[in-house]
């Protein structure tokens, strides 16, 4: 509720120091990066406060063991298309928010963007990671197959997590470890298992699902 009402507080003339002091008292343990990204877009003057709150909320999150490769779609179709009619976030925002989450909770992580190919991204934290992913390459076609082939050839990993709208232009090779595709476009809802476990329908619980499925061997 605090994040949703930040703009109203500012417009009502509440002093910035009062807002910041109150923010420091909040329990943010269950608030995930989507909320902070949306709030920072509306009230950018509080971006530093929001980022600090976001990091605090992720401190106690259970770690995802081993090495994880994150592959974030930056093709043209990821930008400008909202994840839902009521959301302020587009597909890229949703993917980037999940990447922020994974950056904090993965024991070891490599981050790539993909469009015409895979590009390694500096493992920055928080809002800086969103910019690093977005600006890593031009936003053209969706060549997930080519990108996965490059990653399979160049790195070892326990799992790969792909954030995409699944508009791939080529055939995707099987992962060398566990493989997950998170479809942020919400064409349909469900979970499908094949070479990759594909989770369609945007949810803040997708990483919890991955952790639980690996623990239980589901």
pLDDT in tens, 77-126: 999 888 877 777 899 999 999 999 999 999 999 999 999 999 999 989 99
Token pair of 84 as six digits:
């839902």
Q: In the 8-state DSSP scheme, what is residue 31?
A: -
Closest by CA position to 184, among listed 202, 209, 161, 208: 202
Closest by CA position to 70, among listed 117, 34, 110: 110
Burial class (CB in 10 A: 0-12, 13-18, 19+), 72: buried
Can you give the pLDDT at residue 168? Answer: 82
Q: How confident is the model at residue 20 (pLDDT cuts 50, 70, 90)?
A: very high
pTM attached to this predicted model: 0.91
Residue 160 has φ and ψ, to the nearest 5°, of: -125, 135
Can you give the pLDDT at residue 139? Answer: 95
């Amino acid at each position: 509720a605090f994040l949703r009402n930040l703009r109203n507080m500012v417009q009502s003339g509440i002093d910035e120091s009062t807002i910041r002091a109150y923010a420091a008292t909040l329990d943010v343990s269950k608030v995930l990066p989507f909320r902070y990204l949306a709030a920072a877009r509306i009230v950018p003057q509080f971006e530093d406060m929001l980022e600090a709150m976001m990091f605090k909320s992720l401190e106690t999150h259970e770690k995802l063991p081993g090495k994880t490769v994150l592959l974030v779609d930056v093709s043209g179709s990821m930008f400008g298309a909202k994840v839902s009619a009521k959301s302020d976030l587009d597909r890229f925002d949703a993917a980037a928010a999940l990447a922020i989450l994974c950056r904090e909770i993965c024991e070891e992580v490599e981050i790539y963007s993909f469009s015409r190919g895979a590009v390694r991204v500096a493992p920055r934290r928080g809002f800086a990671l969103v910019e690093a992913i977005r600006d890593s390459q031009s936003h053209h076609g969706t060549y997930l197959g080519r990108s996965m082939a490059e990653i399979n050839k160049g790195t070892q990993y326990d799992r790969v997590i792909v954030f995409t709208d699944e508009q791939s232009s080529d055939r995707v090779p099987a992962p060398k470890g566990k493989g997950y595709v998170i479809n942020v476009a919400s064409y349909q809802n469900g979970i499908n298992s094949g070479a990759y476990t594909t989770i369609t329908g945007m949810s803040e619980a997708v990483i919890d699902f991955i952790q639980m499925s690996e623990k239980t061997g589901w």
